[in-house]
Every structure is written in structure tokens, then in C-alpha cells.
Amino acid sequence: MPRDTTNSPVFPKRLKQARLRSGLTQEQLGIHAGIDEFSASARVNQYEKGKHTPGIQTSQRLARALLVPTSFLYEEDDSIANLIAIAGRLSKEKKKALLASAEALAHERN
């Protein structure tokens, strides 16, 4: 059964984690994501506190501004989230190599 990620409690945590890693302020992130400069800081703050959840298009713009795949913002497992963030920074060829390595590891016997 697919998970409902529209009100994911992990979104605020991942958003703040990615923002802090990027070195952007809440206002800077909001502006880079196309949010009006007069409400950018307040809206990002509300997203980080979980008071409001952005729609998918806003989530995609936030992820682009943070240079992370959108799926990173919704991943509950910390290890998988970190893999997603790392994979998002790789070239297409390195992504293929990472996938091949992961598949080989998955087929190994413990």
C-alpha cells in the first residue's frame, strides 16, 4: 500500500536539514524557491515547524533551491535519505555505477 506523503511528519525535519546544510536562511530559501520575498521567511518557518505543508510544486521548487531530489524531503529512513541526497549530486554515469553497486550488494548473501 502506498504511503500518504502529503502530510508527512518527516518533511519539516528534512527541509530544515537540507536548508542548514545549504547554508541558506529561511528567507533566502523561500526567495530561491519563488516565494514572495515579504512572506518567504514566515512560510519556510511554517513548513519547518510542520504548521503547513507545501503542495508538490512548492516542494519541488524548495528541493531544487536546496539542490536535493524532492524525494529526499519525504524519505523517513535517515540512511536512505542520505543516499538519495548523495545520489542527487552525482553525474548520470556515477548514478549508474552507484545503482550497479547497490544491486550487487543486494544480491550478496549475508
Domain ranges of the chain: 10-107
> How high is the pLDDT of residue 9?
87
Cβ pair 98, 106 in contact under 8 A = no
**What's the rounded Cα separation, in Å, for the pair 71 and 59?**
9
What number is the average pLDDT over the span 104-108? 93
Secondary structure (DSSP) of 25-40: -HHHHHHHTT--TTTH
What confidence tens digit (pLDDT) does each residue in 9-36 have?
A: 899 999 999 999 999 999 999 999 999 9
Residue whose entry in the numeric block shows the C-alpha cell 512560510: 43
DSSP designation for 71 = G
Report which of 2, 23, 5, 26 is spatially closest to residue 72, judged by C-alpha positions: 5
At the second CATH level, the architecture of 10-107 is Orthogonal Bundle (1.10)
pLDDT at 4 over 70: no
Q: What phi and psi values does residue 12 have, to the nearest 5 degrees?
A: -60, -40
pTM: 0.86
What confidence tens digit (pLDDT) does each residue in 67-97 have?
A: 999 999 999 999 999 999 999 999 999 999 9
pLDDT at 7 over 70: no
> How high is the pLDDT of residue 8?
60
